[in-house]
Chain A
Amino acid sequence: MLFYSYFKTLMGMQVTVELKNDLAIQGTLHSVDQYLNIKLENTRVINEDRYPHMRSVKNCFIRGSVVRYVQLPAEGVDTDILHDATRREARGT
């Protein structure tokens, strides 16, 4: 639940999602769900020339299970809040 809540605070920010097949998609974080599935808008594939497969796609749904990394803007990361949330989560289990 922690990362689901965290991603909700990042909605509207520009992120780059790197998938487990090495494809990287940049876009605006539109929504996230409990499985950490991600919906991106205004997408752009990194290295478009190498990956023309998504040229006609501007909005996409990415299944959480295939995400390797989500690259975040530094402004979106408040380490104090994350530390507190992590401590609370650890205490809870």
Chain B
Amino acid sequence: MSGKETGLEPLVDTTISVITNDGRNIVGVLRGFDQTTNLILDECHERVYSTKSGVEMLALGLYLIRGDNVAVIGELDDDLDSQIDFMAIRAAPLKPITH
């Protein structure tokens, strides 16, 4: 167990949830990445949270997200995700990252 490198290789070809610096939540299939956390996301969509209505999903397609803008990359659990009633969720959008 030498230098523990947090690589993103285990997440390639899996569905991930990305939180960007402007507070957006983008869900898609990770196809590629590099040392600066630039990401290639396939079949992705944005999940827009609102206090007034349910979660809106906006289809995006194939995206490259620049690493500067990436905050969190979550491994999406499909079982948990399918149990969520998105129309019932009311939440404020995430705040942007302020340095």
**Chain A residues near B (Cβ < 8 Å):** 8, 11, 19-23, 25, 30-33, 37-39, 43, 50-63, 66
Contact of B91 among A32, A39, A52, A63 (CB under 8 A): A52
What are the residues of chain B within 8 A of A19 when measuring CB–CB? 71-72, 97
| In the complex, B40 has a CB within 8 A of chain A | no
Please report which residues of chain B, range 74-92, place their CB below 8 angstroms from some CB of chain A when the two chains form the complex. Answer: 74-78, 80-81, 84, 89, 91-92
A interface SS class: mixed
What are the residues of chain B within 8 A of A37 when measuring CB–CB? 6, 37
Whether B99 contacts A33 by the Cβ 8 Å rule is no
| Cα–Cα distance between A12 and B4 once the two chains are bound (Å) | 12
Question: Nearest Cβ distance between residue A36 and chain B, in whole angstroms?
Answer: 10
Contact of B98 among A20, A23, A30, A51 (CB under 8 A): A20
Give 16 pairs: A residue, B residue, CB < 8 Å, sorted on A. A8-B3, A8-B4, A21-B21, A21-B95, A21-B96, A31-B4, A33-B5, A52-B89, A54-B72, A56-B17, A56-B74, A56-B77, A57-B77, A61-B72, A63-B70, A66-B72
B interface SS class: loop
Interface size of B by Cβ–Cβ distance < 8 Å?
36
What are the residues of chain B within 8 A of A55 when measuring CB–CB? 80, 84
* Complex: chain A residue closest to B95, CB-CB: A21
Whether A56 contacts B5 by the Cβ 8 Å rule is no
